[in-house]
Structure 1
Amino acid sequence: MRRSPRETAESARRISRRGLILGGAQLGFVGLLAGRMNYMQVEQADTFRLLAEENRINIRLIPPARGRIVDRNGRIIAENEPTYRITMVREDAGDVQKVIGRLSMLVELDEDDLNRALAEMQRTAPFFPVTVADRVSWEDISRVAVNAPALPGVTPEVGLSRIYPMNDLFAHVAGYVGPVSERDLSRYEDPPPLLRIPRFQVGKVGVEAKAEEMLRGQAGAKRVEVNAVGRVMRELDRREGEAGGDVQLTVDAELQDFVKARLGEESASVVVMDLEKGDLLAIASAPSYDPNEFVRGISVPDYASLRDNDRRPLASKTVQDAYPPGSTFKMVTALAAMDAGLVAPDETVYCPGHMEVGGRKFHCWKRAGHGHMNLEQSLRESCDVYYYDLALKVGIENIAKMSRRLGLGTDYDIPMSAVSSGLIPDKAWKKRERGSDWVIGDTVNASIGQGFVLTSPLHLAVMTARLATGRSITPRLIKSVDGIETPWRGGSDMGLNDSHLKQIARAMYAVSNSRRGTAYGSRIIADTMRMAGKTGTSQVRNITAAERARGVTRNDDLPWERRDHALFVNFAPFDNPTIAVAVVVEHGGGGSTAAAPIARDVTLQALYGGLPPLDAYPNKDRSRIRALHDRLAREKRAREAEGNDRA
C-alpha cells in the first residue's frame, strides 16, 4: 500500500527527531567519557602514577650497625661481629629435602634448627628466604658458594651480631641483646618499623636495654622491584642506615677484672666510686654469666642451671639486691644525733652486753660488753649498745632524715636493670605499708642497720662518698655518647657540720688502723694510701633466747644460706679521699673477716691504677696477693691470645 506524501513527510520528521535524540545521547556519553579520561589521565596523573609505582617498587629497611659499648679507656665491652648464615627459598629449591641432603654433606646442620626452618617454610610464602643454618664458619660459606649450582635456592649471607669479648666481666652492667619479642613490641604504642625486621636484635637488660635508643641507630632503606605476587626481581638503589652511637661507660675494665678475680667463688658484690664526678669505676656482681650465650640462644638446661643456682648469677646484686646494712649504718645514726645536738664526742655510754627497752633485751655482738664507749670507740669496736642509747635520744624521724641526706632510700637513675631504691623506714611508712604503729624497738633495730632498713651496695658507696666529701655526690655510669660527655653531678655542699664529718672520719680511720679496730687485720700499710672504713654484719636469721643462753652458733657451723651477710665500706686515701668502696658478701659471716680484706685489695688496686706493690699489704697477706697477681697475669695473656685468634 502506497503512502501518501503527507505520511511520508511525517515519518521522516519522526525519524529525524529520534536520530537527534539518540545522537545527542551518544554525544553526551562520549563527552562524559572524555571528561573522565581527562580527569584521570591529566588531573590525577601523578596520583595514579604513584599508585602504579608502589605496586611495582617496594621499600625494604636495612638494619643499622648497633653502637659499641666501651669502658672509660676505650676497651671494647660490646661490639658487632660479622656472622654467616645460610638461607633457602623454597620456591627456587624445588625438592627441598633433596637440596637439604646435598647441603648437609657440605655443612653440619643442627637437627633442631633444621626442623624449625622446615616448619617456617610451610608457614611463609614460597619465595621468602628462611635461615637453615646460622653462625656458620667462613669455610662453610665458601663450600656452599663453590657448590652453588648444585644447591638451587640456597644462598650464603653475611650479617652483624652482638658479641661481648670480655665474656662474663660486664654481664650485669652491659647486659645483652636478643631478637625482638612481642613483649618488646608491647612497650610501644606504634612500634618502629625497624623492630619488624626478622632477627633484629634489641637490648634485653642492662645498658643494652636502658640505652637502646642511643645504641640502635637509624635504619637504611633499599628500593626493590617486585612482581605481582611480591617476589623481589632486582634491587634499584639503596641508602645505608646510620650506625648507633658509641656509649662509653665510666667503668675501668682492668679494675673490674681485678674485682671479679678477687671475689672468686663468693656470692658478692663490689662498687667503686670516684669522689670527683661520682663515676662508677667498678660495679661487679659475682658469680656472673656469659651474655654471649643469650645472644646465640641459650639452651634450656644451661638457663636452668643459672636460674636455679643458689648464688644467683643472673642477679645484678650491686643495684638490684637490698640488704640490711648492719653496722655500716652506724655512721648515719651517729651523724643524726650530732646534727640534732644530742651527743658530744667524749660523752660515754656503758655497754654491759645488752640493753633493755620496753621489756625486751637488745644484745650487743660482744656478749660480755664493751664497757664505757665514746663515739670514736663505739665505731672503732662496733659497739651496738652505744647506738641503742643514741636511738632512744634521736628518734627514727631524725635517723631517716639523715639517711636520705646521705643518699640512702633513693632510686638512682643509672642504666642498669631493676635498680632498687632500698628502704629507709619511718613512722608514716610503717602505718601505710604495715598498718601498724611504730614502736621504740623498731628505732633500736634501725639504729644498727637492722629491722626494716634495706640498702644496696650502690647506696652504701654513695653514703660513704658523701661522708668523705660532705657533698651530695650522685653516681654516674655513662661517661659519654659518641664522644660527647654526659652531665655529671659532683654534688653541692650538703650543709653538714664539718667538725661532725671529721669526727666520723677519724672514727672510721680507727676502724682500719687502730689495733682495737674491727678491720685492723685488713689495713693498708702504705702511709699515703691508708683507708678509713667500717665493718658490718647483718643477720639473716632470728637468734632465740635459748640459743643465746647456750651460746650463739658460729657462722662456720651454720648452713651457707643461714650465715650472716658480711659488709664493709671505706674511702681512701684518708688525707685526700679520691674513691669510695662498698663490699657485700652474701652469707660471708663477719664483715671484718670476709668483706674487709676484699675491700682493702680493691681499694689498693684502684688507687695505684694497677697491681700495687706487695709492701702496701701486711706481711701475712703478701703471699696470697702475689699468687693472685700471677693468676691475673696468666688470665690476661689468655684473653689477649683469644682476641688475636678471633681477629
Structure 2
Amino acid sequence: MKRNPQEQNGAHRTFSRRALLLGGAQLAFAGGLAMRMRYLQVEQADQFRLLAEENRIKFQLIPPARGEIFDRNGMILARNTPSYRINIVPEDAGDVEKVIHDLGLLIDLDPDDLERARTEMRRNRNAPFRPITLADQINWEDISKVAVNAPALPGISPEIGLLRSYPMMNSLAHVVGYVGPVSDYDLSQLEDPEPILKEPRFQIGKVGFEAKREETLRGKAGTKQVEVNAAGRVMRELSRREGEAGADMQLTIDAELQSYVQARLGRESASAVVIDCENGDLAAICSAPSFDPNLFVRGISVADYRFLTEDNYRPLANKTVQGTYPPGSTFKMVVAMAALEAGLIGTDDTVWCPGHLEVAGRRFHCWKRAGHGHVDLNGSLKGSCDIYYYDLALKVGIDKISEMAQRFGLGTRHDLPMSAVAAGLAPNKAWKERVHQQDWRVGDTVNASIGQGYMLASPLQLAIMSARLATGRSVTPRLIKSIDGIEQPSGAGESMGLNENNLRVVRKGMYSVSNERRGTAYRNRIVSEGMRMAGKTGTSQVRNITAAERAAGVIRNEDLPWERRDHALFVCFAPYDNPKYAVSVVVEHGGGGSKAAAPIARDVLLQALYGGTPPLDAYPKGDRSRIKAQQERLARDIQKARHPESDQA
C-alpha cells in the first residue's frame, strides 16, 4: 500500500531523530574513549611504564662466598668447597613426583633429602618457580647423567654451589664450630634480618667462632636482574652486581699442636688450654671428647645426634670455656699472693700441720692424714698442705682473696669469640648476701682457701692465671690473629702492679712442686736444661666425705663410680726462667691431679716448647721407653683422626 506524502515525511523525521541520537551517543562514547586513552597513554604513561617494568624485571640475591678460617701458620680450618647439587623448579616440572621418580632411575637419591625437599615445596607452594634442592654433594658422574638426560627431566637443573667443610674434623670442632641452614628460630632472634638469610639453603654460623663472627665471615650479598614472564619463570639475566666475600680470619691456634693435644686427651672427659705468655695467643684450646662438625653442615641425622647427646662425657660441650670446676689446690697461689701483698706473712713463717684444723667447732682436714708438720710457704706449695692455707685464709679474709682472684683472671668472663664463655666465680661476702641472702661464714673462707666451696674456674681462666703468675702482666687471651691480613691487638697486657719479690716466691714454690723430690708433680718433671717447668697439682672434690668414712678410711677414687670421683687439675708454665707457654689441664673425675692431669700437661707443654715431637731426653730416664711408645701411638691416632677413610681401607 502506497503511503501518502504526509506519512512519508513523518517517518523520515522520526528516522532522522533516531539516527541523530544514535550518532550522538556513538560520538560521545568515542570521545570519552579517546579522552580515557589520552589520559592513560599520556598523563599516566610513566606510572604504567614503571608498573610494567616491575612486573617484567625481578631482582635476585647472589649468596656471598663465606670467609675462610686459617690457623696461625696458614693451615686451612674452615673452607668453601665446590659442591654439585640438583635442583627442581616445581612450576617447570609439571608432575613433580614423576620427575623425581625418573631422576631416581638415573642416580641414587637420599630419602632424607627428598623428604626435606618435599617439605620445602609445601612451604613454598605460593612460589612454585623457586628452585628446591633434591640432592647435594653429587659427584661428576651423576651430574653428567642428569645433563645428558635433561630433555626428559623437565624442571631439573644441575648447579654448582659452595659447601662449608672442616678438614681438621674433630680437633677444632669446639673452637671453629660449624654452620647450618637458617632456622625460624635464628630469624626470630634478629630484629631486622638481611634478605639473604631468607633464601633457601642459606647457611649461617651456629656455634663457636663461626657463630660469634657470623657477620664478618658472611660478607654481603650481590644482586642480579632477571627478566621473567607472567608466570614468574626466569627468561634471561639482564645485569649482575657481585657481592662482597666475607673476611678471611686467621686464628692464633696452632693446628698441629691442637691435633696433638686432642689426641693426648684421648678418651678422657677432659680439657686443656695452652696460652702464649708473651702475647696471650691461645695456641691450643681442646675439649674432649669431640665430634665431627661436618656432620652438622647439611643437617645431622637423628641417630648421630642421639649418640652425641647421650654420651656421659658430653662431647658437644666446650669444657675449656663453658665448664667451671672447683680449682682445688691450683688456687693456693692466689691465696698466697693475697697474703703476701697484704704483708700478713713472711716467706719463712711456718704453720704447724697435724692433719686437721678446728674452726668454729668443725674439723677441716688436710689431704695428708698424718699432717705435714711445720710448713713454710715454699713447702706448702711443694707438698700442697691444706692446713697452711686454712690458716692463711683466716688471716687474709675472703674479700681480699676474691679481689686477688679477679686480678688473676678468675671470676671474670673473658671476651673471646667462642660459645658459652663462663665467668666462673670468685665469691665474697657481698655475693653470698646478694645471691643466697645469707651471711658469709668462716667455714666458707676455709673452703675457698683450697679452691673448694663456692669457688669455680674454667680451664681457660686457670691458664690465664698461670700466665699472669709467670709474667706479672695482665695477659689477656687472644684468639684472632688477623682479619684479612690485618694484625689484631696483642694480649700481652700491662704490669699487674704486684710486688715482684712476692711473685718470685710463689713461682719458686711452683718450681719445687715439679722439680724437688717431695714435690707432688716430681714424677712428671721436665729434665731438659732450659726447659724446666713450674706447676701445681690440684684435686677438687665432687662429693662430701663423712666423718664415718674418714674413720673407716676414705674410699679411693678407683673404687667409686666414675661420676663420683674427684676432678684432676694441673697448671704450669715453662721455661721457668723465661716463661713462653702456660698450660692448664682438667680431667673430669680423673682422681688425683698428679696422676691424671700432670702427665698430660707436661707432654703438652713439651710439644709446644719444641714445636713438635720433643726429644726423649726431655723426659726422666725411667719414662723414656713408655713415652716413645706413646709418641708412636699418638702419631697414628692423629693420622687416623684426619684421614678416617684410610683406616677403613
* TM-score bracket for the superposition, by shorter chain length: over 0.9
Secondary structure at the counterpart of residue 269 of structure 1: strand
Q: Is the 8 A contact 1:72 1:250 kept in 2?
A: yes
**2:420 is equivalent to residue 427 of structure 1:** no
How far residue 28 of structure 1 moved from its aligned partner, in angstroms, is 12
- Selected match of 2:231 from 229, 232, 239: 229
In structure 2, C-alpha distance between the alignment counterparts of 1:38 and 1:154, rounded to whole Å: 45
Secondary structure at the counterpart of residue 51 of structure 1: helix
1:576-587 equivalences in 2 (<5 Å): 576-587=578-589
The amino acid of 1:580's aligned partner reads A
1:336-347 equivalences in 2 (<5 Å): 336-347=338-349
**2:71 is equivalent to residue 93 of structure 1:** no
1:311-322 equivalences in 2 (<5 Å): 311-322=313-324
> How many percent identity over aligned positions?
67
How far residue 438 of structure 1 moved from its aligned partner, in angstroms, is 0.3
How far residue 80 of structure 1 moved from its aligned partner, in angstroms, is 0.8
Residue number in structure 2 paired with 1:73: 73
- Selected match of 2:356 from 354, 357, 369: 354
Q: Is the 8 A contact 1:165 1:643 kept in 2?
A: no
- Selected match of 1:481 from 483, 490, 505: 483
Q: Is the 8 A contact 2:168 2:642 kept in 1?
A: no
Change in Cα spacing, 1:28 to 1:195, as seen in structure 2 (3 Å) is closer
In structure 1, C-alpha distance between the alignment counterparts of 2:596 and 2:614, rounded to whole Å: 21
1:37-116 equivalences in 2 (<5 Å): 38-41=42-45, 45=46, 47-116=47-116
Q: Is the 8 A contact 2:571 2:583 kept in 1?
A: yes
Secondary structure at the counterpart of residue 178 of structure 1: strand
1:166-177 equivalences in 2 (<5 Å): 166-177=168-179
Q: Is the 8 A contact 2:393 2:446 kept in 1?
A: yes
Residue number in structure 2 paired with 1:441: 443
Change in Cα spacing, 1:225 to 1:390, as seen in structure 2 (3 Å) is same
Residue number in structure 2 paired with 1:394: 396
In structure 1, C-alpha distance between the alignment counterparts of 2:136 and 2:36, rounded to whole Å: 61
**2:472 is equivalent to residue 470 of structure 1:** yes
Residue number in structure 1 paired with 2:12: none
The amino acid of 1:40's aligned partner reads Q
The amino acid of 1:83's aligned partner reads S
How far residue 99 of structure 1 moved from its aligned partner, in angstroms, is 2.6
How far residue 102 of structure 1 moved from its aligned partner, in angstroms, is 2.4
- Selected match of 2:415 from 402, 413, 416: 413
How far residue 52 of structure 1 moved from its aligned partner, in angstroms, is 2.3
Secondary structure at the counterpart of residue 99 of structure 2: helix
Residue number in structure 1 paired with 2:533: 531
Residue number in structure 2 paired with 1:616: 618
In structure 2, C-alpha distance between the alignment counterparts of 1:601 and 1:636, rounded to whole Å: 15
Q: Is the 8 A contact 1:68 1:80 kept in 2?
A: yes
How far residue 38 of structure 1 moved from its aligned partner, in angstroms, is 4.7
Residue number in structure 2 paired with 1:548: 550
The amino acid of 1:166's aligned partner reads M
How far residue 194 of structure 1 moved from its aligned partner, in angstroms, is 1.1
Change in Cα spacing, 1:138 to 1:279, as seen in structure 2 (3 Å) is same
The amino acid of 1:86's aligned partner reads I
Secondary structure at the counterpart of residue 233 of structure 1: strand
How far residue 185 of structure 1 moved from its aligned partner, in angstroms, is 1.1
- TM-score normalised by structure 1 residue count: 0.92
In structure 1, C-alpha distance between the alignment counterparts of 2:42 and 2:159, rounded to whole Å: 49
The amino acid of 1:63's aligned partner reads P
In structure 1, C-alpha distance between the alignment counterparts of 2:568 and 2:640, rounded to whole Å: 33
Residue number in structure 2 paired with 1:509: 511
The amino acid of 1:389's aligned partner reads D
Worse-superposed segment, 403-412 or 620-629? 620-629
The amino acid of 1:192's aligned partner reads E
Secondary structure at the counterpart of residue 494 of structure 2: coil
In structure 2, C-alpha distance between the alignment counterparts of 1:267 and 1:192, rounded to whole Å: 40
In structure 2, C-alpha distance between the alignment counterparts of 1:429 and 1:446, rounded to whole Å: 14
Residue number in structure 1 paired with 2:380: 378
In structure 2, C-alpha distance between the alignment counterparts of 1:537 and 1:35, rounded to whole Å: 90
How far residue 48 of structure 1 moved from its aligned partner, in angstroms, is 4.3
In structure 2, C-alpha distance between the alignment counterparts of 1:546 and 1:532, rounded to whole Å: 37
Query: How many pairs were matched up?
Result: 624
Worse-superposed segment, 267-276 or 30-39? 30-39
Change in Cα spacing, 1:447 to 1:230, as seen in structure 2 (3 Å) is same
How far residue 643 of structure 1 moved from its aligned partner, in angstroms, is 10
Change in Cα spacing, 1:225 to 1:642, as seen in structure 2 (3 Å) is farther
Q: Which structure 1 residue ranges, 5 or more long, are not aligned?
A: 3-22
- Selected match of 1:286 from 285, 288, 297: 288
In structure 2, C-alpha distance between the alignment counterparts of 1:599 and 1:87, rounded to whole Å: 51
Residue number in structure 2 paired with 1:246: 248
In structure 2, C-alpha distance between the alignment counterparts of 1:54 and 1:298, rounded to whole Å: 41
How far residue 228 of structure 1 moved from its aligned partner, in angstroms, is 2.0
In structure 2, C-alpha distance between the alignment counterparts of 1:64 and 1:291, rounded to whole Å: 22
Q: What CA RMSD, in Å, does the superposition of the two structures yield over aligned residues?
A: 2.5
In structure 1, C-alpha distance between the alignment counterparts of 2:122 and 2:214, rounded to whole Å: 34
Please give the per-residue CA displacement for 1:376-402, whole angstroms capped at 9, x wherever unaligned. Answer: 000000000000000110000110111
Worse-superposed segment, 573-582 or 480-489? 480-489
In structure 2, C-alpha distance between the alignment counterparts of 1:294 and 1:641, rounded to whole Å: 19
Residue number in structure 1 paired with 2:599: 597
1:197-236 equivalences in 2 (<5 Å): 197-236=199-238
Change in Cα spacing, 1:400 to 1:305, as seen in structure 2 (3 Å) is same
How far residue 33 of structure 1 moved from its aligned partner, in angstroms, is 8.3
The amino acid of 1:236's aligned partner reads L
Change in Cα spacing, 1:250 to 1:373, as seen in structure 2 (3 Å) is same
Worse-superposed segment, 29-38 or 421-430? 29-38
Please give the per-residue CA displacement for 1:176-226, whole angstroms capped at 9, x wherever unaligned. Answer: 000001121122211101101110010000000001011001111111111
How far residue 129 of structure 1 moved from its aligned partner, in angstroms, is 2.5
Q: Which structure 2 residue ranges, 5 or more long, are not aligned?
A: 1-5, 7-26
Residue number in structure 2 paired with 1:10: none
Change in Cα spacing, 1:434 to 1:114, as seen in structure 2 (3 Å) is same
In structure 2, C-alpha distance between the alignment counterparts of 1:141 and 1:522, rounded to whole Å: 57
Secondary structure at the counterpart of residue 341 of structure 1: coil
In structure 1, C-alpha distance between the alignment counterparts of 2:366 and 2:644, rounded to whole Å: 53
Residue number in structure 2 paired with 1:157: 159
How far residue 31 of structure 1 moved from its aligned partner, in angstroms, is 8.3
Q: Is the 8 A contact 2:444 2:453 kept in 1?
A: yes
The amino acid of 1:447's aligned partner reads S
1:298-337 equivalences in 2 (<5 Å): 298-337=300-339
Residue number in structure 2 paired with 1:117: 117
Secondary structure at the counterpart of residue 473 of structure 1: coil
In structure 2, C-alpha distance between the alignment counterparts of 1:612 and 1:500, rounded to whole Å: 33
The amino acid of 2:118's aligned partner reads L
In structure 1, C-alpha distance between the alignment counterparts of 2:98 and 2:459, rounded to whole Å: 59
In structure 1, C-alpha distance between the alignment counterparts of 2:31 and 2:85, rounded to whole Å: 66
The amino acid of 2:98's aligned partner reads K
